Each structure stands twice: as structure tokens, then as C-alpha cells.
Structure 1
Amino acid sequence: METSIKMLDERTDQATRQMLQKVVERKRKFDKLKLRHLIVMWATVFLSFFYLLYINQTVIEPYFYSFAAMFSAYVNHSENLYLIVFTVSLFGFMNLLKTKKEKAEKEYQALRCEIIDKSKDLWKKEEEWKNRHIVFEMMKANYDINLYHENK
């Protein structure tokens, strides 16, 4: 468990600390997948750009006078097959990461909203209710998790 969450002894009970820990874990998972998706997306864009530039230089410009000549030149180079398969595979991997990222975001947002909705139950005592803003500020400052409002 995170040390800053452990230090919330008198302000929260054990169940609340576990919920806060889970929301931190899901936020980290979402951030990791978001970064991976961004890296793979840019790799796909750059690879596609350079592949199209390569095709333009090696196939289209030298054989622009005939489609049959372009097709023949394209098929004669085996690296074109490998490059197109790799580019399409990278595009598919990018889409897979996007769906994983969206799923992780939904899980994170659902748990975050659940904490917000149940805040009256989690901080039942009057003193705990008055001090809950300390917990919210700590979560915002340390983990960039907003527990004040349900909107992103």
C-alpha cells in the first residue's frame, strides 16, 4: 500500500484505504496503457510515412508510366511484403492498445466515481466528514486523482 495512503490513519478506515489504493493502481494502469498507445500510434504514423515515401521512391516514380510495371516492381521486392505486414501488424497492435486503454479508463473512472458517490458512507462521522478534503487534496496532489467531482 502507498505510504501516503497508509498515513491516513485517523481520517479513513481500512476499507476506504483499500479503495483509494485500488483507484491509484487503476490510474497507473491507465496511464501506462495511455503512454504505450501513444508511442505505438506515433511509431505507426512514422513507419507508414516512411514506407509510403519508400514506395514512392522505388516503385511509383521509376515506373509511373505503367501500372503493370509498378505492380511488377512492387511484387519483385520481397521487403515490400515484410514492410506492409509489419505496418499492418503495428496498426492492429495500436488498435488493441486503444481498446485496452479505453477499458482501463472505464474501470478507473468507475471506481473513482464510486468513491465519490459513497463518500457519505466512507466518512460517516462528523469529524471524518469535515477532514475528508485532506484526503481529496492528497489524492489530487500525489496521484492526480480528482475525487471532488465526477466529471473528468
Structure 2
Amino acid sequence: MPGETYSSYASNLRLVQKRSFKDSISKGGKRASAAIKSVSLFAYIDPFIDWLFGIALILAMLKDLLDIINTVLIAVFGIGEILTIIFTFFISVFIFLIMVITGSTGKVKMARSIIKRTLLLIGTAITEMIPAVGMLPLETVLVVVAFVMTLAERKKAEQGNKK
């Protein structure tokens, strides 16, 4: 009877291997689907208007760099806070204008979109005021998130038009 035990173990092992292979294929398919969905957002890039996000990204990176430099200047000399506040204000206004210009179509959709982005911008500005957190590149992250939100809204609007 030991032979039967060995054969049952072998058949169980084959069954487990088949299941794990199927599970890994299934998980791989889900991961590939998520990757395709994220890449598919790039199909909604409009180069005639989205170049503004490039400018906003550069300015946001400069602002985040200024935050780091300002932290060093305050620690060493105690200057630079006024310059940072003014620069942050102008960068935030510029990013807000870009969000309005590149907003989605339709009055209701555009109003919701602007409200979401404005709350995101205000939340980022408030978070930037926290001393230790202010050094993080939050403004840069804000621009990237706003750009992805814009692309997702364009995709959603196009899918709504197809229905």
C-alpha cells in the first residue's frame, strides 16, 4: 500500500502545481490589465494643451527645490521665508490656471473637476505649511496627480460619449 500513498502524493502535487500556475496566470493577467489601463491614459494626451503641465511641473520642481534651499537658509541665516511665500503663491495660482484651462468638457463636469483640483491644491498648500513636511516635493506630486486626473477625466468623457 505504500505505492498508493506515493501516487496520491504525486497526483496531489500535480494538482497543486496546476492550480498555482493558473493562479499565477490569473494574477499576471490582472497586473497586465492594470498596466494597460495606466498606459491607455497616455492615449488621451493632447500635446496642444498639455504642454502647460510641463511648464507647471518645471515650476513646481523649482518651488520644491526652493523649499529645500529655504530650509537651509533659515537654519543658517534666517532669510528667505518671504521669497518662498511669494513664489509659492504665484506657482499655486499658475497651477490653478492650468487646471482650469486643461479641464474636462461640459459645465457640470468642469465644475466638479475644478472643485476637486482646487481642494487638492488647497490641501497641498496647507500641508506645505507644516514645517517638516514642507521639504517634501508635494507641489511636484500635485502637478503629476492633476495631470493624471485630467487624463482620466478625458478618458471617462470619451467613454461616456461612446455610450
For Structure 1 versus Structure 2, the TM-score category normalised by the shorter chain is: 0.3 to 0.5
Of structures 1 and 2, the one scoring higher in RCO (CA 8 A, sep 6+) is 1
Q: TM-score, normalised by structure 1?
A: 0.36
**Could you tell me the TM-score, scaled by structure 2's length?**
0.34
Q: Where is the helix percentage greater, Structure 1 or Structure 2?
A: 2
